[in-house]
Structure 1
Amino acid sequence: MQRAPSRLPSLALVGLVVLACTPLAGCRKGELVADMDYDDPKTALAAMDDAKRDAWVMPDRVVRSLGITRKDAVVADIGAGSGYFSRRLAREVPGGIVYAVDVDDEFRGYIESNRESWGTPNIEPHLAFYDDPALPEHGIDLVFVSNTYPYLRSRVAYFRKIAAALKPGGQLVVINFKHDARVPDNTAPAPQFRTPKETVISELQQAGFGLVREETFLPYQYYLVFQQGPAKP
């Protein structure tokens, strides 16, 4: 299998192109996914790490709300991009590992070059595919997916692979833009291409996950926590 020729962003950026999937794109018939086209990775990385985003992305509060208690936990950050969340997750698990999952080798190099200066040598850059996270089986305690869900191909099949990568009792977190959110900057897909919360829940049910809880403190995004098995009443 060849690596995807374009990039899987952890944060949507300016220059968005949205495509309807075809069989060649590896999607289910009729599935819509967002795609990204940009010419300057350095500009993209700077936009991902722009401190102005912290006010509404609330990365530190998000990470605290995950309730990670084991300092040796293994976490996968899907669509890691610049490592915006990866470095924060890595500080929560200093004795563990954070797989910074992306399809872009330039992003891998950026994280690899900066993880020591961030004080997070436990970040492991991890190249993957649009339709396969390529994670070790039964090796992950928490899978974290922020602003990446609409870019994934064949999502039900993709998240079945995520399920296979989780340890028993492991959790999956999905954060994504609300359909009607007026995001302060150009970092979100057009509203018609933002995956609705109900679609995420439905697709993940098909992949074997049940909704455990929902956090509501983010102003422009929904925040869902899943485990394998049926939803909690």
Structure 2
Amino acid sequence: MGNGIVENLKFVWECILQVIYSDDEKCILCKSEIFDKECICLECKKRMKLCKDSFDIEFNKIKISAYSVSYYSGIMMELILKLKYKSNFKAGETIANYMISLIEENNIKFDFITYIPMNKVALKKRGYNQSKYLAQIISDALKIPIIHCLEKTQETKDQIGLNYSERWKNMCQCFKFVSNRVNIKNKKILIVDDVITTGATAFYCAYELIKNGSGKIIILTGAKSKV
């Protein structure tokens, strides 16, 4: 009987703790209350302007397939800015979950996942690579290996404020494939980034993989702007 009383008391205590430390939180965007494990509320979800179709990034007669979850505006823009500049990793989890859904809905197949690298100065300043963070969540969820095979060898100007041709010139020859880390020959690879504008950054990363023998490259971002 004593054990039964103890178990009942433990159950009551756990119920009290659940009330005190409820998992119910507020939407990370509008601060309204939510009652599930999501980070944004239903109303914010409804305002997301989702992209339905794939698109191509083409330069010098080379064409790369790409997908984006949403346009870079409204809700998605807020999520990306929170992840990128406010270290809000719940925003990152939300973006990554949308990316995972897109992969599953479009039945996108690949052997490896990689991401857009940052140079050492920028990485030290921010403390983390938001694209790597998104890629890791996708890798963990889909059980597909993430490979750290690209390096950014040159410090570049911020793409913000540059026109189309300046963006392409700014990214040219600043990425390097690290060949001793993984064999990518004929492997289908997903490149992850937070947002794509002209496509220059993603294209040159893809081109590095193609030059080193990869199979098909697919680019996936949380948002797209002018592409």
Give the TM interval when normalised to the shorter protein. Answer: 0.3 to 0.5
Please state which structure has a larger fraction of its residues in strand.
1
Using the size of structure 1 for normalisation, the TM-score is 0.33
**Larger helix share, 1 or 2:** 2
* Structure having the higher Rg: 2
